[in-house]
Structure 1
């Protein structure tokens, strides 16, 4: 059995054909800048790599091309189902769901909560239904893992009408990553039967989650992915009055200000050079002041949020780093953990430099509260959930 995993973004499409048991990938593909003159597609099947320029191609044209390419290589026939990443499931979906009319209606109802993401996710589902109509489809929601948040963590101190009529609450995101990584971390800690974990997913988007017994008890992202940690282009948490202050001062609308908080803030704004932490660290190492500040603000915010998440757990058994930055940046791990010594956290410099690859994922010093580096695999979790729903 293989599963076709689809992640359909507003201007991108990511695809993988995965065996949910062995985790082997028969094919992977990424299409970017869709709808523009620079649209392109890369498909990898075994040792074969296909790069195509597809100027002005939309999602439909790219997915049709991919189905043809996969079919010509005999990969479509072995696919048993299609798993879709869906960003927002609201309060309706606390687990993955087989897609039918009610599920489609539920995803559509969440469009106001994720206007950039859910329409693209629905488009991917619709296109797969047209191109591969005999294959069952499953929706795997970013938000569902956090549906277990207790009221004290999910509730904002805002008017009741906002909460009840407008759905204003903390939903949380990166749920597939937090779920995958926390399960893997638990398996790496057999000496701790029910570990209290904080998982830190650090990439262009960043979030932390407090997890006990496999259940999410708190997380840093909120109604949208804008809240919480400093991110590549997102500001993270700030005073909401900044929106009206800037709007009045610049003659902008609130929507325009929020768009800048999502796309022109975070590391990109602080450093003045990039949203890529690798570029910023290189500049910081050469003494560039804005880059140094960007790294310092990022690590301080990260440490502060990690410390806050400990409250939900009543203690900490392991801190788990994942995502592009979390998995590959020993400098960021060292700076953040260096601010958390009062929690009993200390890194081993050699293990940290090696990303835990020769020390069973552990980068902490002996005698410290455990610190792990665990690679995430959201696509595999989507494939596994899809297979389970079809069993």
Structure 2
């Protein structure tokens, strides 16, 4: 059984060196998409155990299912730190009274719990000793698909790709206790500090609405020149000036705009604006890149107007299986006449940028087929969901991010935006 799993992993996660002039060691790795998250594999410990882990740019922490986690919550492989079969290199960290809790930033209903430890983590031959959490509880982190015999991939953890230098911990005896920051280095940052890769990684996600290994990729150490139409255009990460504030992969957005294109005669195209939202001068909005969530989170006023720009009517009905998502007629997925432009600022504060960068792609790309736990198609939903009314940040999830080839540079604290060669996305720089 183990040999079969390793053989499948070897064939599914093909890798290669890719073009990146300054990279010390750059690898490309295919990703698995189960319609909910994008995954890669890592190996931990000695003897090594292999885990299928989701990629999350909104979190720094790496965690996997631990041996103490119940079967009902943690299916698949569980990291073993006990007995004769325990990893020989595992070390506990801390005093045994400090516990890590991670809450879903959107609804506060999902969480994990466990104690920090350290062991060797391997990804495609790159090996480094890394702090991580073998969790003993995991609640509502992954969508539980009722797989058939032909599908055996089960989520077993998260590979944190965030940029924050700390994680938050709290006392084991009380969830209400005040959290405190603990220094923490992410896996990719750790690889770079050891000189194994340059301080950057890239992600590109496929558009397939069904489980697939096709097209998606993770590049460690740079970006894949063979995949993009031009080098990434970089915008700086916004870092709060508040004391002890966390750092996230987030930037300032400046405007939404939707144009409609009509063809009149041979080669005569007319474009006109049907919706434009320029954020208040010197009050740009914060957009956080969150690769682990399938649906973006936009403020209701923006979200409703974008929906109306595509359909001509206000959103009303919510999906029965996804109560935070609006139902939309699947026919709109084929309407390529309306082009969404998201403008990003080069400023590191909320000042208006006179020459922003625009990411343009068909608005219809935000229409998603909903796949239930049995992998059955149950109509279409509008990708972006409404934020909570008190939220000051908006989250760009997979529905938007799969239209962008993304490079995350944690040496210069910036995000690169590029157009993948087979996509219809355009990166427009004024």
Report the TM-score, using the length of structure 1 for normalisation: 0.28
The structure with higher relative contact order (CA 8 Å, sep 6+) is 2
- The structure carrying a bigger helix percent of its residues is 1
- The structure carrying a bigger strand percent of its residues is 2
